[in-house]
Amino acid sequence: MKKLIYITLLLVTGLVAASCVKDLDAYPFNEDDFTSENAYGSDYANYVSGLAKIYRCFNNTSDLQVEDGGASELIRAFWCVQECSTDACKNDWEKDSWTQDINKNTWSTADNAASYALYCRTLHGITYANEFLRQTTDERLADRGCSSDVIAKVHSLREEARLLRAFMYWMSMDTFGDVPFVTEESEFGSASPTVKTRSEVFDFVESELKALTASSDMPAAGSNYPRVDKGTAWGLLSRLYLNAQVYKNTVDANGNVTQKGPAMWSECIAACEEVFKLNYGLCENYPDLFRGDNGENPEARKEMLFAIDYDEISMNSWGGTIFLAESCFQAGDDKDENGNPMYSLGVADGWAGIRVPSEYVFKYFGVTVPEEGYDAEGKYTGVYNYTDERAGMFFIKGHREEMTDLAEFTQGWSFYKYNNIPHNMTREEFASSAKSYGSASAKCGIDYPVMRLAEIYLNYAEACVMDGQAAKGLPYLNALRDRAEIDPLPSYTLEDVQNERAVELCWEAFRRTDLIRWDQFHSGDFLWRWKGGSYQGQGFSQHLLVFDFPQSELTANSNLSHKPGYAN
């Protein structure tokens, strides 16, 4: 049975009865007990630690019990919901309850670990952000004896906390639509949270982001890696506006979209152009963005607007980039002709889980397999042809083309995108380190790119073509093609943007949101293997465009009810 351990989340998000927590601001009777007052004090470092607790919500796996601890991490949960529910990825872990529902678009009112973790983690982060904002008002800082210098620096931390809260509200409303809503101004501890519509949450996130982009206390772009900064705020605004027709749509009692929201292409264009003015640039070598030293490599860092830090020395996680590196291959694949491990991804274990369906590789990456690319049994020999340099990250030797059995890892293409080997080291040079990163000591130093400049280029290109200004977006689309060493386009259509996003942002947790925006996610006119639970693919109900609330939440909070279409 799944349950939350952290009492903070239980109390503030209303997962337990309000009568249990009459006055959460009351001090304990024992003056030596740990409270916010004696935890923060007047030392600036304590406030940095308080902010770090919010960031930790993205990659924490220690306090939420699901069937697999790694599945409880926010980055991993969001990634699985975004990628495994689409044509870009399938997971063969049939013993994990979430995989079949997500793989086949057959989720229901029953809890599954991925959406459950995503719901709890985002509310957890919002809770911490609200509490941090309550505890860092000028009045409270002054009461604790903080100097004017400390107070000024804490102002900047508060802006980061607001942006992190906005980001988690975006993740939650993108996945669930209408969500429980609480801020630092909400009545604390006396009632369960009420629900705001997705459109209302959109308006709140937009207003917060606009305020943060105008704030002199928001860290300058490129000054705060891997943490959020002013560029992150503009980038999230562009993401918000790009999907405005989805986020502000109207649905009926069955979950069917009856009216799209207003298009906000010009607003998206303007937000992207603000990012272009800032201190970012494309990394010259695409694979370096996903290498084990991407956080230390200035060339890779300059493209990042926001990343989640993973460190092989001090940060050990079963989610995040260790999941993306170890789950994309099986140990038997990564051996030389003498049967010795090669450690091609700078990690020791192969978890054999996620892979890209062949049809996706052929359609978007432009890959072809010559006659000698198949052996007598129809398995891949490892030979394939491509012109797009991003297609060089696949491994297929010994695999089969057709994915007729979702529980068979060797059906489909392994995608070696997330590589723990530093960009300036060879596989052989890093092998001794990689050898030690196995079993219980599995570690990974790849920072997860939550937002990077290439996404903003693509947001811009799409908004421009939809707004009838394709000429403005063309140079940005071609800049990505140039990096991939493929020919530039003389002009482009929405389909060209769709194809480019499918390659450039593959396995970066965009695919579900993209397909929903293009009316392709549920549609019977856009099919892929296993869509809707059928091997041939089939359309499915629009109510599955959002996930239902976890059952435990529906029981605990009377303000929640099933999403339209789920209880029918």
How far, in whole angstroms, is CA 234 from its chain's centroid? 17
Of residues 190 and 98, more confidence is placed in: 98
Q: For the chain, what is the radius of gyration of the CA atoms?
A: 23
Helix (H, G, I), strand (E, B) or coil at 337: coil
Q: How far is CA 153 from CA 44, 139, 257, 296, in A?
A: 8, 15, 46, 25
Please, which residues have CB within 8 angstroms of residue 425's CB and are 6 or more apart in sequence? Answer: none
- Say how far residue 132 (Cα) sits from the centre of its chain: 23
Cis peptide before 226 (omega within 30 of 0): yes
Q: Higher pLDDT residue, 64 or 462? A: 462
The terminus-to-terminus CA distance of the chain in angstroms comes to 26
Q: How far apart are CA 54 and CA 125, in angstroms?
A: 6
Query: For residue 325, which phi and psi values (nearest 5 degrees)?
Result: -80, -45
Residue 538 DSSP label:
-
Contact 427/344 with Cβ under 8 angstroms? yes
| 232 vs 235: CA distance, rounded Å | 5
Cα 517 to chain centroid, rounded? 17
468 pLDDT more than 50: yes
346 Rama class: left (phi>0) / alpha (psi -120 to 50) / beta: left
Q: What is the pLDDT of residue 32?
A: 46
Report the alpha-carbon distance of residue 549 to residue 474 in Å, rounded. Answer: 41
* Domain locations in the chain as residue ranges: 1-197+533-568, 219-307+453-521, 310-446
**Lowest-confidence pick of 6-10, 103-107, 400-404, 499-503:** 6-10
CA–CA distances in Å: residue 159 to residues 100, 130, 273, 274, 308: 40, 12, 22, 19, 18
pLDDT of residue 312: 76
Q: What CA–CA distances, in Å, run from 528 to 87, 92, 412?
A: 6, 17, 13
Which DSSP string corresponds to 249-304?
-EE-TTS-EEE-----HHHHHHHHHHHHTSS----SSGGGGGBTTTTT-HHHHTTE
Mean pLDDT of the chain: 90
Q: Residues 395, 416: contact at Cβ < 8 Å? A: yes
Could you tell me which of 456, 447, 465, 433 has the C-alpha nearest to residue 278? 456
C-alpha 24/C-alpha 7 separation (Å) is 12
Asked if 225 contacts 301 with a C-beta cutoff of 8 angstroms, the reply is yes
- Residues 306-333 pLDDT 10s: 999 998 776 667 788 999 999 999 988 9
Task: Name the residue with higher pLDDT: 32 or 90.
Answer: 90
**What residue type is 226 in one-letter code?**
P
**CB under 8 Å to 475, separation ≥6 — which residues?**
none
Q: How many CA atoms lie within 13 A of 198 on its CB side?
A: 25
Q: What is the pLDDT of residue 258?
A: 98
Pairing of strands 257-259, 250-251: antiparallel
Percent with pLDDT over 90 in the chain:
80
d(CA 295, CA 421): 13
Give the Å distances, CA to CA, from 29 to 32, 48, 189. Answer: 9, 28, 19
Our CA angle for 137, 138, 142, nearest 5°, is 120
CATH T-level topology, domain 219-307+453-521 = 1.25.40
25: number of Cβ within 10 Å = 9
Residue 393 exposed, middle or buried by CB count within 10 Å (0-12, 13-18, 19+): buried
Q: What confidence category does residue 2 fall into, taking pLDDT thresholds of 50, 70 and 90?
A: very low
Residue 544 burial class via C-beta count within 10 angstroms: exposed 0-12, middle 13-18, buried 19 and up = buried
Q: Computed from CA positions of residues 202, 207, 209, 210, in that sequence, does the dihedral angle turn out positive or negative?
A: positive
| In the block, residue with structure tokens 């297609």 | 391
Is this structure's pTM higher than 0.85?
yes
Closest CA to 356 of 89, 535, 91: 89
Burial 432-459 (b: 16+ CB within 10 A, else e): ebbeebbeeebbbbbbbbbbbbbbbbbb
**Which band of pLDDT confidence, cut at 50, 70 and 90, is reported for residue 189?**
low
Query: CA-to-CA distance for 485 and 500, rounded, in angstroms?
Result: 13
Task: Give the pLDDT confidence of 290-305 residue by residue, as tens digits.
Answer: 999 999 999 999 999 9
Residue 298 carries which side chain, given as an amino acid letter? P
Residue 14 confidence (pLDDT): 33
Instruction: For domain 1-197+533-568, say whether CATH 1.25.40.390 is its number.
Output: yes
User: What is the spatial distance between Cα 206 and Cα 211, in angstroms, rounded to a whole number?
Assistant: 9
What pLDDT is recorded for position 6? 30
> Residue 35: its pLDDT value, please?
58
Fold: same for 1-197+533-568 and 219-307+453-521: yes
